[in-house]
Structure 1
Amino acid sequence: MKIKFAEVSDAPLIHDLMIKAFTEYKDEVPPSSALEETIQLISTALKDDERALIGYVDGDAVGMVRFRLNENGVYFYRLSVIPEKQGQGMAKKIIKSLEDYAIQNGKTAIRCKVRMTVPKNIELYSSIGYSIYDEEVVVKPNGVNIKVVSMKKQLTI
């Protein structure tokens, strides 16, 4: 897998990968807000301080992760691998690249949030050294509550 930093012009590709990956959550209550994001929203975020990595296999984009650097480390979200490539270690490779980038930039922690209703994602992160450090209920504008866990991994510089 070849992993590259995204450009603002990659917003349509990032959106496509995300929609393909998150479609499996369309029947969740509520559905993932990732499914409501637009190319324009992603483009605007990339112009601000959001960054993204895109993973390619044989020249085809198969996955991506969006993230932000902050004083506490790296916060990532919307990790996406297209359905036909899931379960093949693609997500772990993308996250490993992100961790390497974080270390190169002097960051000592990497974090994410995961819906408690998606234990396979909690298991994925746990299998590569992440641990749960917080639980919360996110209240959506429509009044639906979502239970999430915050996960973190300490990085060694």
Structure 2
Amino acid sequence: MEIKFAEVSDASIIHDLMIKAFMEYKDEVPPSSALEETVQSVLIALKDGEQGLISYVDNEPVEMVRFQLNEDGLYFYRLSVIPEKQCLGIAKKILMSLEDFAIKKEVTTIFCKVRMTVPKNIKLYSSIGYGVYDEEVVHKPNGIDIKVVSMMKKLS
């Protein structure tokens, strides 16, 4: 497996991986907003300073994560593993690469948010040292509320 930093030209790869991974949430109420994103919205985000990592197996993209650095630390989102590669430990590998990058940038904290209706993701992050530090209800414009946990990991 090879993990590479995303280029702006990788917007369609990032979008494709994200849609494949997030399709499992299409029947959630509401469905993940990841499914509403377009190649164009990903491209704009990358041009505006968002970063990403993409994992390749046999030169085929299988996973990605998007992230931003800010004054509080590194915030990642949209971690996406294609369905046929899920539960093989590769999500942990890309998160380890993200941690290595953060440490090189002298960032001490990594953050993410997870829907409470997706306990497998909370369990994944907890298994590698992330802890829940906040719970909130996100109010969507359509009147639907989503319960979310904020998780973080301190890096040494």
TM-score (norm 2): 0.99
CA distance in 1, matches of 2:8, 2:49: 11
Matching residue of 1:83: 83
Q: Give matches, 1:67-106, under 5 Å.
A: 67-106=67-106
Q: Give matches, 1:7-156, under 5 Å.
A: 7-156=7-156
CA distance in 2, matches of 1:48, 1:105: 19
Structure 2: 5+ residue stretches without partners: none
Identity in percent = 74
What CA deviation, in whole Å up to 9, does each residue of 1:64-116 have, x standing for no partner?
A: 00000011110000000000000001100011000100000000000000000
- Across the two proteins, how many residue pairs are aligned to each other? 156
Q: CA RMSD in A?
A: 0.4
Aligned-residue offset at 1:140: 0.6
Structure 1: 5+ residue stretches without partners: none
TM-score (norm 1): 0.99
